[in-house]
Amino acid sequence: MSSAQLLKIALCLYAAGVLGSLLSLRRERMANLLGFVAALLAGLCGIGSTLMVLLGGLGGEWPAFELWPSLVPYVRLTLRLDPLGAFFLLIVSILAVAISLYSLGYVRGFYGRKSVGVLAAFYNALLLAVTLVFTASNAFFFLIGWEIMALTAYCLISFEHEKTETRNGAVLYFIMSHIGTGCLILGFLLLFQYSHDYSFESFRQTAAAMAPERRDAAFLLFLAGFGVKAGIIPLHIWLPEAHPVAPSNISALLSGVMIKTGIYGITRVCFDFLGTPPNWWGVTVLTIGTISAILGVLYALMEHDLKRLLAYHSIENIGIILMGLGASLMFLHSGHPVLAALALIAGLYHTINHAIFKALLFLGAGAVLHATHTRNMEEMGGLIKRMPKTAFFFLVGAVAISALPPLNGFVSEWLTYQSLLQGFGTTSSLVRLMFPLSGAMLALTGALAAACFVKAFGITFLAQPRSEEARHAHESPGPMLWGMGLLASACVFLGLFPALFLRVFGPLTGQLLGQSLPEHLSLMNGLVLGNTQELGGTVSPLVMTLTGVCLLPIPLVLWWWFARRAQTRIGPTWDCGLRGLTPQMEYTATGFSKPIRMIFKALFRPRREVQREYDYSPYFAKTLRFESHIEEPFVTRLYRPLNRGILRLSRRMRALQAGSIQAYLIYIFVTLLVLLIWAL
């Protein structure tokens, strides 16, 4: 079967999933089965189809076809699965398989409460739209897919629309998403002025020859338009509001897949259309990436809502991805295609890694939510004993996202470090200092992420349960565990065998940079991962792990030698002589991140209010009320004034809209007059 056929089958299966679940709206079990099994099978077809393209090498055929002939001029519904699109479609397909499997169990929680059929239909529609976005080869068709994606995502986010919080998040997403789409339309119109056609092929041929200031304008428009979807700072404000309020399987899809469409867009436009970039493009992308990474993780640390915490981490990881892409653009400018390939691979490898571990973490958070009915970490605790498998999978995701060896997050950050370090030698201007400095900021980000996930895992799963719900939590049903297990094993595979997986980037760098994989990237038959120079830096998570396993007998032999006769007793935790330790005495999530809140005080501007009531001495308080919160400067300093300005303006405009026909007739007349005079 050819790649094109598989892609068509996948598209049909998604469409069938939409129809099937809509037709069985009344029968929940049927809708659940039809919708999610269709998506699962479509995901499998997608994986097959994309792997054929990616492993086919440079000479392989890239399927291209037209869905059906359209009657509207310029609009052609053409699809083309080139390596760049195939790589992103591979991410979607892997996640579609795992999340659909998980959803089969997860949506049972909605039986009798909400319409599962609607959820499954929109779920399939979103996957279908994302597939179209990654394969469309005509700007109009791309925008159609883009809008279907935005709208279905809006419907999915507002699935539990009874809650005010959900409605607010969804509307904010809707507004921001359309500001982004506006930028994209303008960007495509700019390109159209030179190409006189909306096909991507024509952009590819003409966009590089645009006047420099137009090219820069197009770059900025696309960066803003795709940046909204990707959630770069300062366009990120919708992300922590919208992602947490969606059902958890949808959150995983949004964070794993949808924000990657922004990365896809930036890569497509900057590397495929616009030709050799000026230096400041790369500098801009690298700077935005660094800022997003650091601020994302810092705000994540302040959260005690498990899903909001994960949403902020998406901003952080998008930042890390953009660091790779930005460095790659800078290398393209300075004429180092091999390094550009390395940095591009680093960014894209982090894209697939982030998709996988973030989906895993959101699914884990969904399982916790399912069991405890709360997103507030301060009411969790002790779940590792009640849901051991979920806890284990969440731990795998936590280690991976903290970029700790030997899992996949470590490998892609390692590649990012390598490309940043090599970048120092590519220019002699002061700009080269940017590379090691953003490397240092990447190190700060990684260490803060580790702190954040010690908090997320430790407070959620360890120690004593902090609430009645957490005390009575239960393990998730089978399909949910299988879905998480699938993603956890993907984390292990991508971590231990990076050089094996890197083969898929061969056609991709060939297509975008005309450059095959760097020669020293894979050493010793793929056992060791290298960089662009011989012995310029090598790593092998697999050998590390195996050696680690071989070292494990040391502590065991010591145990046998010395402690054979030692007894192990289970006792209470030391409680300072009080009578019994209660969950109130445990360290809280807020307390855990307090030192960091204090160190970065200037950024967070924490506000706290303490009210004490006491009889005679302030040391013996009768009641104490403590309130503390932090503000996001982007919301208070940028968006709120903007919002106020727009409201004020519209209030002024209201005077014009008086409701009297005579007034409107005058407006029309005056406008006509002005236009006529202008035309003269």
Partner 1 sequence: MRIILAIVLQTLLLLVLAPLVTGTIRNWKAKLQNRRGPRVWQPYLDLAKFLRKDMVISEHTSWIFRAMPYVLLVSTLLAGLMMPLVCVLAPLNLFGGVLAFVGLLALGRFFLALGGLDAASAFGGMGSSREMTISAVAEPALMLAIFTVAISAGSTNLSQMLLASQGTVASFLTPARLLAFAALFIVLLAETGRIPVDNPATHLELTMIHEAMLLEYSGRYLALIEWSASVKQLVLMALLVNIFFPVGVTTNLAAGSLALSLGWFLAKLLVLAGGVVLVETTNAKLRLFRVPDLLSAAFILAALGLLSTFLFNEPAPL
Within its chain, how far is the Cα of 590 from the centroid?
A: 25
Options 221-229, 277-285, 435-443, 485-493: segment touching partner 1 (CB under 8 A):
435-443
Question: Tokens 């897949």 map to which residue?
Answer: 257
Q: Which of residues 198-217 bind partner 1 (CB under 8 A)?
A: none
Report yes or no: 124 and 14 within 8 Å, Cβ to Cβ.
yes
Query: How near is the Cβ of 489 to partner 1 at its closest, in Å?
Result: 19
Options 26-34, 82-90, 354-362, 421-429: segment touching partner 1 (CB under 8 A):
421-429
Pick one of 164, 428, 660, 662: the residue that binds partner 1 (CB under 8 A): 428
Q: Which is nearer to partner 1, 598 or 670 (CB)?
A: 598
Q: Which of residues 638-657 bind partner 1 (CB under 8 A)?
A: none
Among 100, 143, 434, smallest CA distance to 252 is for: 100
Is 408 among the residues that bind partner 1 (CB under 8 A)?
no
Cα gap 680→671, rounded to integer Å: 14
Among 15, 36, 157, 363, smallest CA distance to 28 is for: 36
Q: How many residues bind partner 1 (CB under 8 A)?
A: 92
Q: Which of residues 323-342 bind partner 1 (CB under 8 A)?
A: none
Residue span 500-529 as binding mask against partner 1, x where in contact by CB under 8 A, dash where not:
-----------------------x----x-
Q: Which is nearer to partner 1, 510 or 606 (CB)?
A: 606
Query: How near is the Cβ of 551 to partner 1 at its closest, in Å?
Result: 5
Is 603 among the residues that bind partner 1 (CB under 8 A)?
no
Peptide bond before residue 278 is cis, with ω within 30 degrees of 0: no
DSSP annotation of 29: H
Dihedral over alpha carbons 82, 148, 487, 461 (to 10 degrees):
150
Pick one of 52, 86, 224, 399: the residue that binds partner 1 (CB under 8 A): 399
Query: How near is the Cβ of 560 to partner 1 at its closest, in Å?
Result: 10
Q: Which is nearer to partner 1, 268 or 455 (CB)?
A: 455
Cα gap 624→678, rounded to integer Å: 70
Query: How near is the Cβ of 453 to partner 1 at its closest, in Å?
Result: 8
Q: Which is nearer to partner 1, 58 or 440 (CB)?
A: 440
Pick one of 373, 385, 637, 644: the residue that binds partner 1 (CB under 8 A): 385
Q: Which is nearer to partner 1, 82 or 413 (CB)?
A: 413
Residues contacting residue 592 through CB under 8 Å, at least 6 positions apart: 454, 455, 458, 459
Report yes or no: 92 and 259 within 8 Å, Cβ to Cβ.
no
Q: Which is nearer to partner 1, 30 or 492 (CB)?
A: 492
Helix 116-135 vs helix 83-106: crossing angle, to nearest 10: 170
Is 421 among the residues that bind partner 1 (CB under 8 A)?
yes
Q: Which is nearer to partner 1, 46 or 541 (CB)?
A: 541
Report yes or no: 237 and 632 within 8 Å, Cβ to Cβ.
yes
- End-to-end CA, the chain: 64
Long-range contacts of 28-32 (CB under 8 A, 24+ apart): 28/110, 28/111, 28/112, 28/116, 28/117, 29/111, 31/116, 31/117, 31/120, 32/103, 32/104, 32/107, 32/108, 32/116, 32/120
Among 95, 86, 103, 93, smallest CA distance to 37 is for: 103
Pick one of 88, 200, 226, 457: the residue that binds partner 1 (CB under 8 A): 457
Q: Which is nearer to partner 1, 334 or 516 (CB)?
A: 334
Query: How near is the Cβ of 261 to partner 1 at its closest, in Å?
Result: 30
Which helix or strand (DSSP H or E) is residue 340 part of?
Answer: helix 337-372
Q: Which of residues 527-586 bind partner 1 (CB under 8 A)?
A: 528, 533, 535-540, 543-544, 547-548, 550-552, 554-555, 558-559, 561-563, 566-575, 581, 583, 585-586
Question: Tokens 């991508």 map to which residue?
Answer: 494
Residue span 65-104 as binding mask against partner 1, x where in contact by CB under 8 A, dash where not:
----------------------------------------
Pick one of 51, 151, 186, 454: the residue that binds partner 1 (CB under 8 A): 454
Pick one of 402, 408, 509, 511: the residue that binds partner 1 (CB under 8 A): 402
Cα gap 538→159, rounded to integer Å: 47
Is 111 among the residues that bind partner 1 (CB under 8 A)?
no
